[in-house]
């Protein structure tokens, strides 16, 4: 026991019970200790020893532990101090939606994130599930080095390590399977075939879902056998892939059912063209085997059971087949369904089919008629994603022109007839249409300039006047990161004007602030420090 | 009232002397009470007070009444030390022993050399009026090395460390703010200025005030880098001069972080391990700034651990956030 340890022990036990007063090697120091009570002696000795320990403390040699290769030299310069400050605010939550845009802009400018911000950026990116691709360029060599220095940030390398597939957790195995599919689809399928019998139904369904990567006609025989699975979820997972294989036996069976249900009667001199629908009687076992499950739709009371079955059957047929069968265009076919008794089921079925087969023509035809949107039981954005951006732009512009018309009419109504109820109704219509457009607008990473320009007058009218639309303000705020940069100054100016004498001042100002930040952030990324 | 009225001046001087004597008396009584209290603690053993850390705070309040705020602060720190995990007893005993040493030294104040008297009075909590600082100033180009903020009983304390370009002297500028009062923001880490400082009398002069201030420049490189062991030697010498010294500036050369990000080690160029303060909140940033390469690092040594305040990385001066501290 060292002298110091003796003193500490005495202090812990208490001088009432124990007092170990060590002899101090330095007699002059000891001689100076005051005489008297033992408590004072203990404290005096402790002071001398503790100070001596601190003064004489020597650092130990570091033990070599863990990796010790320094980061490689950077090839790109860091962003300016100004830009780094912007990144810091983004990371602390201010205008956080702009973070991916900042990274992309930095990458385009050929610049990298300053090292001191990397830990927060990487932690944030992991939480938000950013893709590594969007980060890789902007984090530089230092970022890559740092990822290697934190266990949780290291990316698993699925596909390369077969032990993950054999012993990993379900999530890791799914990632492995998806990665392996891109590398060697047949080998991945074979690996799955070998083990699928041993897994629980939920895991079987998830594994089959992972075959979506690298899907091809070669998978059809395996998927067809999984339709014999006793679990409905597994059969549905297989069906969700089979519907994307137009030559599959599954699609043939669906086509047979669909063609039995729909009959086209061309118009003549005395009658208009008609679509006859024979609703399926009930869900038979063959349908169940093919993964048809009206349950989720009837449970939400969106549609009756037989209509739901019709919808799912129509959804299983590549829509282009109807053009061949009926000999008319998609628009003409959709027109037949428009005021049909089973319009919801038919339109939704075709929308689903367009998504499954990635049929842009059909998807565009569906989107072109915004009146049919409320009838769709599938997310509009999914339909929109199947359409090339240019066509999306065209029909949205058309819809916006209409919105403007409605608002214009409302304003005329207010000023001339002073009929507030009518005016409110039409403004509501415009608001509703904008709300419906919103999910489609959101499918653009950046709105085309024409679209942004078309949106501006609508926003002006919905946010101006005595009763600004909260819905519109919210939508505009969400769209703000998508407004093209060159259009920002004009938007900032107009939002600034709108926010004056407006009950939504704060909300509109927030959007304007976001746009100001965006503009400045892009300017700063182009700057260089002296 | 004319300030030159000799009668008034004499009157005021008389009042000042009386106030001052009164304070000396209260401090002496307070410290006597503390002496008995400390002895009770070591008589009962440290675990008894560890279970009632409130007693430290009560005694601290008593010391505030006795006009010994420095002693009160040391006592408040005790309540944290008592709950500081492994080796709490070592840390707590050190602090109690220093308090004891302070009481002993104060009782024999007149027998001690003058600069040490100033250190003792400073540790107890006497503050010197700026007009009492009439010693010669030190002119230099001063680099603002780093800043750290702490809170002491509703008072925010900002410590700013300076370093003279020619004199190689370190200086500590303190600013205080109560409640929502703003703190002085004119000394920006990473800048330097031409100016004259006046040091408070001390055996280890560090604390100073800025007497005159000229132009501000971007940071100038400082050449006073040392290895960790050299810096520890300087600390040992300073501690021998002033046992009440709490924080000591260190400008270390070629410090490097090794290992994984969650449990890295800081080492100097001789491979010696530098213990990092647990309250330092920016280990990840420091780790990343180095990227495994050696960097010059400035910080405070507490006697047991190192708190980084600024670093020079790729020619950029980077100050750590003073607010994250503690």
The pLDDT tens digits for A124-157 are 887 776 766 668 889 999 998 998 888 777 655 5
Residue B1 has pLDDT above 60, yes or no: no
Residue of chain B minimizing CA distance to A13: B45
Q: How many CB atoms lie within 10 A of CB B244?
A: 21
CB-CB: which of A11, A120, A150 is closest to B261? A150
What pLDDT score was predicted for residue A408?
60
Tell me if A59 and B93 make a contact (CB, 8 A cut-off). Answer: no
What pLDDT score was predicted for residue A419?
43
Tell me if B272 and A50 make a contact (CB, 8 A cut-off). Answer: no
Mutate to test the interface with B, among A48, A116, A121, A154 (most CBs of B within 10 A): A116
Tell me if B98 and A47 make a contact (CB, 8 A cut-off). Answer: yes
Least confident of B52-56, B132-136, B192-196: B132-136
SS (H, E, C) A54-90: HHHCCCCECCCCCCCCCCCCCCCCECCHHHHHHHHHH
Does residue B274 sit at the A interface (CB-CB below 8 Å)?
yes
Mean pLDDT value of segment B96-117: 95
Q: Between the CA of residue A519 and those of A52, A114, A529, what are the distances in Å?
A: 60, 21, 19
Tell me if B239 and A44 make a contact (CB, 8 A cut-off). Answer: no
- CA distance linking residue A456 with residue A475, whole number of Å: 12
Phi, psi of B160 (to 5 degrees): -115, 125
Strands B295-301 and B306-313: antiparallel
What pLDDT score was predicted for residue B325?
42
Q: Between the CA of residue B169 and those of A47, A429, B204, B217, B251, what are the distances in Å?
A: 29, 75, 11, 18, 12
What b/e string do you get for B22-53 counting C-beta neighbours within 10 Å, with b at 16 or more? eeeeebbebbeebbebbbebbbebbeebbeee
Helix (H) or strand (E) holding A296: helix A295-299
Phi, psi of B258 (to 5 degrees): -125, 165
The whole-angstrom distance between A523's CA and the closest CA on chain B is 22
Tell me which residue of A453, A472, A451 sits closest to A461, measured CA to CA: A472
Residues of A whose CB is below 8 A from B34:
none
Q: Which residues partner with B142 through β-bridges? A: B164, B193
Q: Is A486 exposed, middle or buried (0-12, 13-18, 19+ CB in 10 A)?
A: exposed
Phi, psi of A67 (to 5 degrees): -70, 150
Phi, psi of A217 (to 5 degrees): -60, -25
Residue B228 has pLDDT above 80, yes or no: yes
CB-CB: which of B42, B239, B261 is closest to A11? B42
The gap from C-alpha B210 to its chain's centroid, in whole angstroms, comes to: 17
Q: Taking all residues of chain B, what is their mean pLDDT, rounded to a whole number?
A: 91
- CA distance linking residue B56 with residue B42, whole number of Å: 14
Dihedral, CA atoms, B47, B53, B54, B56, nearest 10 degrees?
A: 90
CB-CB: which of A39, A62, A149 is closest to B273? A62
DSSP state of A33: S
What are B283-319's pLDDT values in tens digits? Answer: 999 999 999 999 999 999 999 999 999 999 888 899 9
Residues of B whose CB is below 8 A from A92:
none
- CA distance linking residue A105 with residue A523, whole number of Å: 10
Does residue B110 sit at the A interface (CB-CB below 8 Å)?
no
The whole-angstrom distance between B105's CA and the closest CA on chain A is 11
Residues of A whose CB is below 8 A from B288:
115-116, 118-119, 142, 146
CB-CB: which of A34, A42, A151 is closest to B104? A34
Q: Between the CA of residue A341 and those of A292, A347, B323, what are the distances in Å?
A: 22, 11, 68
Does residue B321 sit at the A interface (CB-CB below 8 Å)?
no
Tell me if A69 and B274 make a contact (CB, 8 A cut-off). Answer: no
What are B58-92's pLDDT values in tens digits? Answer: 999 999 999 999 999 999 999 999 998 889 999 99
Mutate to test the interface with B, among A5, A50, A75 (most CBs of B within 10 A): A50
Residue of chain B minimizing CA distance to A116: B285
The size of the A-B interface in CB pairs under 8 A is 154
- CA distance linking residue B38 with residue A425, whole number of Å: 81
Check: CB of residue A525 under 8 Å from CB of residue A104: no
Check: CB of residue A371 under 8 Å from CB of residue A395: no
Residues of A whose CB is below 8 A from B42:
10-11, 14-15, 39, 42-43
Q: How many CB atoms lie within 10 A of CB B309?
A: 24
Q: How many CB atoms lie within 10 A of CB A53?
A: 16
CB-CB: which of B100, B260, B262 is closest to A44? B100
CB-CB: which of A44, A46, A62 is closest to B93? A46
Tell me if A54 and B272 make a contact (CB, 8 A cut-off). Answer: no
Does residue B174 sit at the A interface (CB-CB below 8 Å)?
no
Which residues of chain A have a pLDDT value below 70?
A: 22-36, 65-66, 129, 131-134, 154-161, 400, 402-426, 530
Helix (H) or strand (E) holding B200: none
- CA distance linking residue A463 with residue A472, whole number of Å: 7
The whole-angstrom distance between A527's CA and the closest CA on chain B is 17
- CA distance linking residue B101 with residue B103, whole number of Å: 5
Percent above pLDDT 70 for chain B: 96
B207 three-class SS: strand
Check: CB of residue B1 under 8 Å from CB of residue A2: no
What are the residues whose beta carbons fall under 8 Å from the beta carbon of B245, sequence distance 6 or more? B119, B204, B238, B239
Tell me if A12 and B274 make a contact (CB, 8 A cut-off). Answer: no
- CA distance linking residue B218 with residue B221, whole number of Å: 10
DSSP state of A482: G
DSSP state of A35: P
- CA distance linking residue B261 with residue B252, whole number of Å: 21
- CA distance linking residue A288 with residue A47, whole number of Å: 85
Residue of chain A minimizing CA distance to B47: A12
Q: Is B132 exposed, middle or buried (0-12, 13-18, 19+ CB in 10 A)?
A: exposed
Tell me which residue of B309, B314, B255, B280 sits closest to B144, measured CA to CA: B309
What pLDDT score was predicted for residue A416?
47
Strands B191-199 and B208-218: antiparallel
A19 three-class SS: coil
Mean pLDDT value of segment B161-190: 91
Strands B316-319 and B295-301: unpaired
CB-CB: which of A47, A61, A69 is closest to B272? A61
């Amino acid at each position: 026991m060292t002298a110091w340890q003796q003193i500490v022990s005495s202090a812990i036990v208490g001088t009432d019970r124990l007092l170990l007063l060590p002899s101090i090697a330095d007699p002059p120091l000891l001689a100076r200790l005051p005489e008297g009570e033992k408590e004072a002696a203990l404290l005096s000795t402790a002071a001398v020893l503790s100070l001596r320990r601190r003064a004489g403390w020597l650092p130990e040699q570091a033990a070599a532990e863990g990796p010790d290769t320094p980061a490689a030299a950077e090839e790109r310069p860091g962003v300016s101090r100004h830009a780094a400050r912007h990144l810091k605010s983004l990371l602390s939550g201010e205008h956080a939606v702009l973070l991916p845009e900042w990274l992309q802009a930095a990458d385009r400018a050929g610049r990298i994130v300053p090292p001191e911000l990397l830990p927060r950026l990487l932690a944030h990116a992991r939480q938000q599930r950013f893709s590594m691709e969007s980060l890789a360029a902007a984090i530089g060599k230092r970022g890559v080095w740092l990822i290697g220095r934190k266990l949780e940030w290291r990316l698993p390398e699925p596909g390369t390590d077969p032990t993950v597939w054999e012993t990993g957790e379900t999530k890791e195995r799914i990632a492995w399977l998806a990665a392996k599919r891109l590398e060697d689809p047949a080998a991945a399928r074979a690996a799955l075939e070998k083990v699928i019998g041993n897994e629980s139904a939920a895991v079987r369904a998830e594994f089959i879902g992972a075959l979506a990567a690298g899907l091809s006609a070669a998978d059809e025989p395996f998927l067809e056998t999984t339709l014999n699975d006793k679990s409905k979820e597994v059969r549905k997972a297989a069906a969700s892939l089979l519907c994307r294989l137009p030559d599959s036996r599954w699609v043939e069976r669906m086509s047979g059912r669909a063609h039995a249900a729909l009959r086209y009667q061309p118009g003549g001199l005395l009658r208009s063209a008609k679509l006859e629908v024979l609703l399926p009687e009930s869900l038979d076992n063959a349908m169940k085997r093919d993964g048809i499950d009206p349950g989720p739709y009837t449970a939400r009371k969106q549609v009756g059971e037989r209509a739901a079955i019709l919808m799912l059957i129509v959804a299983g047929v590549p829509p282009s087949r109807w053009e061949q069968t009926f000999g008319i265009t998609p628009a003409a076919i959709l027109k037949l369904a428009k005021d049909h008794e089973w319009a919801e089921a038919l339109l939704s079925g075709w929308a689903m089919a367009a998504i499954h087969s990635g049929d842009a023509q059909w998807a565009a035809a569906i989107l072109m008629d915004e009146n049919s949107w409320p009838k769709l039981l599938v997310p509009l954005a999914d339909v929109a994603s199947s359409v090339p951006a240019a066509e999306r732009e065209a029909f949205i512009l058309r819809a916006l022109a209409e919105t403007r018309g409605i608002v214009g009419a409302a304003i005329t109504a207010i000023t001339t007839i002073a009929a507030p109820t009518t005016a409110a109704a039409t403004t509501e219509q415009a608001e509703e249409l904008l709300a419906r457009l919103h999910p489609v607008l959101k499918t653009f990473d950046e709105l085309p300039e024409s679209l942004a320009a078309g949106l501006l007058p609508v926003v002006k009218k919905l946010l101006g006047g005595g009763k600004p639309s909260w819905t519109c303000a919210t939508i505009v705020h969400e769209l703000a990161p998508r407004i093209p940069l060159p259009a920002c100054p004009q938007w900032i100016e107009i939002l600034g004007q709108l926010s004056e004498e407006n009950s939504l001042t704060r909300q509109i100002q927030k959007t304007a602030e976001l746009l100001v930040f965006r503009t400045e952030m892009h300017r700063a990324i182009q700057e260089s420090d002296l | 009232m004319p300030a030159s009225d000799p009668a008034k001046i004499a009157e005021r001087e008389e009042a000042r002397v009386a106030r001052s004597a009164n304070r000396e008396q209260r401090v002496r009584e307070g410290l006597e009470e503390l002496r008995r209290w400390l002895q009770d603690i070591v008589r009962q053993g440290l675990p008894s007070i560890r279970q009632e850390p409130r007693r430290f705070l009560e005694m601290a309040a008593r010391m505030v009444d006795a006009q010994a705020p420095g002693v009160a602060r040391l006592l408040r720190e005790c309540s944290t030390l008592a709950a500081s995990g492994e080796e709490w007893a070592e840390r707590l005993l050190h602090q109690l022993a220093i308090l004891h040493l302070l009481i002993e030294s104060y009782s024999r104040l007149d027998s001690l050399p003058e600069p040490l008297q100033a250190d003792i009075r400073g540790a107890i909590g006497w503050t010197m009026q700026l007009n009492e600082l009439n010693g010669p100033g030190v002119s230099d180009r001063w680099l603002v090395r780093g800043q750290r903020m702490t809170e002491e009983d509703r008072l925010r304390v900002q410590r700013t460390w300076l370093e003279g370009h020619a004199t190689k002297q370190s200086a500590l500028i303190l600013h205080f703010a109560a409640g929502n009062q703003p703190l002085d923001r004119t000394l920006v880490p990473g800048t330097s200025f031409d100016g004259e400082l006046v040091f408070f009398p001390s055996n280890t002069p560090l604390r100073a005030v800025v007497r005159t201030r000229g132009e501000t420049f971007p940071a100038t490189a400082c050449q006073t880098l040392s290895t960790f062991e050299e810096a520890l030697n300087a600390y040992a010498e300073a501690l021998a001069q002033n046992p009440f010294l709490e924080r000591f500036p260190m400008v270390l050369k070629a410090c490097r972080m090794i290992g994984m990000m969650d449990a890295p080690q800081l080492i100097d160029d001789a491979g010696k391990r530098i213990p990092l303060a647990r309250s330092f909140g920016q280990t990840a940033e420091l780790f990343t700034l180095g990227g495994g390469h050696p960097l010059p690092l400035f910080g405070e040594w507490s006697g047991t651990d190192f708190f980084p305040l600024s670093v020079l990385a790729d020619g950029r001066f980077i100050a750590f956030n003073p607010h994250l501290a503690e």
